Structure 1
Amino acid sequence: MSAPAARGGATVGRLSDLSPVEAGAVMYLRLWGDGMQTRMDAAQDFQIALGTDQGRAAMLTLDRLCSLCAHHGRRPLIRHGLGCVCLGADENCFAQMIAAASEGAREDAMMMASLIVRPDFAPALAALSEELGLALRRMTVSIPMPTPRHQNPTATLH
């Protein structure tokens, strides 16, 4: 019998079950959390898909959003590895928040944001989620969503 997954790391699905925006949100969360090299890879993806100015803005939004989660989260978000096809519970909540915000469902995005960060930071997280979600929507028109390039099994669940 294997050890139980950490809270938030339990597998709830597969990345292939998600829409392009949701899958992109998860992949960029993983890239951001895996270190500086993968953050540079994410920034490059954004610039290729959105152009220099909009790409920089999207990366800044991702950085602010993930930093907010890291510094004001109710607990650390559990991520699966870059190459993992599983979808963790925390990753799913994150993806659903981004997708809801990008569709204009602000109350739903706020509800999910309040599950991730302290209540006083939920409005800021929901607003950043909308910005990132809209950037991911623009990217789905121009290029396919990112694929894993690096894997650091010590920093993640799978």
Structure 2
Amino acid sequence: MMPELNERGAATVAVLSDMDPWEANLVLNLRLWCEGSSGQSQVWNEYRNALPGEHATHECHAFETLVRTIVSSAHRPLVRHQVGCSCVGADEAVFVNLVRMASEGHLNDAALVATLLMGPARAEHVALLAGQVGTCARKIGRRPPHSKPQAAQNVVRLH
């Protein structure tokens, strides 16, 4: 039996409390970003509060570019959980693993992981962006505020 399109990528594979703080924050920022403009504002504010001036703008732009590239190039809609949900879905875990591997310097492996979410044509570019995002996320390493902004397209929210 084939799973429904919206079920693919939804399986709970972890919980936020078992992740490194920077990884949990990365998941929360992904969720916020995909919620829409209000969530994106929260992510931008986090970067502004954590980093000085132009550095904050540059790093948040890298995060934005990474998420937009993955979402726009995805094989199917990216599945995520609600901002306040404590579990981590498979797609969210793939995103974290991609960023972790890339920020540890394993760019070839990160590019391979990227192909779980999207086609291979942009996987190398995504791995490079993920390395930058991961390096910054490790520095920030704190939880953002929670809210329920508007939803982004090509992303399915479970619970």
Normalising to structure 2: TM-score of the pair?
A: 0.88
Cα deviation for residue 152 of structure 1 reads: 5.8
Match of 2:103 in 1: 102
The structure 1 segments of at least 4 consecutive aligned residues displaced by more than 2 Å after TM superposition are 144-147, 151-155
Match of 2:81 in 1: 80
- Alignment partner of 1:145 out of 139, 143, 146: 143
Ranges in structure 1 where 5+ consecutive residues have no aligned partner: none
The one-letter amino acid of 1:23's match is: A
Please tell me whether the aligned partners of residues 31 and 82 of structure 1 are also in contact (alpha carbons under 8 angstroms). yes
Match of 1:71 in 2: 72
Cα deviation for residue 107 of structure 1 reads: 2.0
SS at match of 1:87: strand
Cα deviation for residue 71 of structure 1 reads: 1.1
Whose helix proportion is higher, 1 or 2? 1
Percent pairwise identity: 33
Please tell me whether the aligned partners of residues 79 and 90 of structure 1 are also in contact (alpha carbons under 8 angstroms). yes
Ranges in structure 2 where 5+ consecutive residues have no aligned partner: none
Matched pairs, number? 152
The one-letter amino acid of 1:39's match is: Q
Q: For 2:112 and 2:21, how far apart are their aligned partners in 1?
A: 22
Match of 2:115 in 1: 114
Q: For 1:131 and 1:153, how far apart are their aligned partners in 2?
A: 27
Aligned Cα root-mean-square deviation (Å): 2.0
The one-letter amino acid of 1:45's match is: E
Match of 2:24 in 1: 23
Please tell me whether the aligned partners of residues 32 and 149 of structure 2 are also in contact (alpha carbons under 8 angstroms). no
Please tell me whether the aligned partners of residues 38 and 149 of structure 2 are also in contact (alpha carbons under 8 angstroms). no
